[in-house]
Amino acid sequence: MRHKDHAREALDGCGFYADIGIDILVEKALLGIDSYGFLRMHDLLQEKGQEVVRRESPDEPGRRNRLWNRKEVNYVLSQNTGTETIEGIMVDVEYLGVVHVNSKSFSKMNKLRYLKLMGVDLSNGLEYLPNSLRILEWSEFSLKSLPSSFYPEHEHLRELSMCHGDLEYLCGEVKPLHNLKRIDLRYSLSLVKTPDFRSIPFLEHLILEGCERLHEWIGFALCVVFAVPEHQLYGSEEDLDNFLCKLSINGEVGTPSVNYALESLLPAMSNHLWLCYLPPHECYFYFWCEDIYSNIEASFGFIGSTMEVIECGFHLVYEEDFEVLVEQTMSRQTSSVN
């Protein structure tokens, strides 16, 4: 069972027209939305849809486009009988039992877009994951990292959820993932390194709750590019004082003291850049949260102004970030002297 908003994101990520499809199903009473926003379908309708999929290949589940039965998933993955026909695999967490995975189980599934697994035996390792994946949900993943050959195509991967596992880091080099919106690594107790977020420019949700071994972070970096209408380029400085930045941490909303005098940063041009570094103690709720920051959101805007935010960014700053910055600065200084 999924919330309608999460379901829309998942369907959009897999290339379906979620808004149109969900609305049509609700209109025809084939799908319901409860008072909490969760999608519900009658068991008989679900079984009928599953039967349609079974008829694609009654005797060989590896030739169907979707798999959800744990026994069939176990057979396909342990015997390596999967084919490029498979587009989605989901093992419901309500069913008990271990799925055994061959190290090359996914090597033939070049069109796999959705993968949801839990309770999987990876004692033989894992050499390959399809780069076609758009949604990867793998709870209790027992390896230290994803396969080194996993380079998801930058326009595809939308959601990555690897909770309650033994991950120490995701993978080695991360290619730019322009459509990745959500990373959920909660309670990855062995996690010591996060991915380079510079390669994930449009990330919206980052959940690191319970990741106790992550290196110490030392603050927030905030960045905003905003446009000033032509008639305001030489206008009143009061129009520039309405910039607002809000941080929401663990559901607590506060306004850090970042309302700087922007007029000193504004030459006569249409686009402007605002940068800020905030140590944690500048947030009024710092002493409430301290080391249990599990969900952080940042929002930017202008109040009572026609100025517009074009792009914005938010990044946790770690000690190692400063070390890299110092090294780069020293390198540039040496080059300029030479």
Q: What is the DSSP letter of 314?
A: E
pLDDT of residue 211: 84
Instruction: Write the pLDDT tens digit of every residue in 125-169.
Output: 999 999 999 999 999 999 999 998 887 765 689 999 999 999 998
* Span of 54-68, 106-120, 307-321 with lowest mean pLDDT: 307-321
Q: To the nearest whole number, what is the mean pLDDT of the chain?
A: 75
User: Taking 80 as the threshold, does the pLDDT of residue 248 lie above it?
Assistant: no
Query: CA nearest 132: which of 82, 196, 206, 78?
Result: 82
Under 8 Å between Cβ of 181 and 203: yes
Q: Identity (one letter) of the amino acid at 286?
A: Y
- Show me where the domains of the chain are located: 4-215, 219-337
pLDDT of residue 201: 78
Question: For the whole prediction, is pTM greater than 0.75?
Answer: no
Number of residues assigned to the chain: 338
Written out in words, the top-level CATH class of the domain with range 4-215 is alpha beta
Under 8 Å between Cβ of 177 and 201: no
Exposed, middle or buried: residue 226 (CB in 10 Å: 0-12, 13-18, 19+)?
buried
**How far is it, in rounded angstroms, from Cα 67 to Cα 48?**
15
User: Taking 90 as the threshold, does the pLDDT of residue 112 lie above it?
Assistant: yes
Under 8 Å between Cβ of 33 and 8: no
Q: Quick one: average pLDDT of 318-329?
A: 61
Instruction: Write the pLDDT tens digit of every residue in 54-77.
Output: 999 999 999 999 999 988 999 999
pLDDT of residue 173: 66
- Inter-helix orientation angle 4-13/18-27, to 10°: 130
pLDDT of residue 217: 64
Q: How confident is the model at residue 185 (pLDDT cuts 50, 70, 90)?
A: very high
User: Taking 50 as the threshold, does the pLDDT of residue 284 lie above it?
Assistant: no
pLDDT of residue 285: 42
**How far is it, in rounded angstroms, from Cα 139 to Cα 163?**
5
pLDDT of residue 11: 66
Beta pairing class for 243-249 and 252-254: antiparallel
Under 8 Å between Cβ of 119 and 97: yes
**What residue spans of 152-285 are helical by DSSP H?**
none
Phi/psi at 282 (5° precision): -80, -5
User: Taking 80 as the threshold, does the pLDDT of residue 257 lie above it?
Assistant: no
**How far is it, in rounded angstroms, from Cα 150 to Cα 127?**
9
Under 8 Å between Cβ of 91 and 98: no
**What residue spans of the chain are helical by DSSP H?**
4-13, 18-27, 43-54, 70-79, 286-289, 319-337
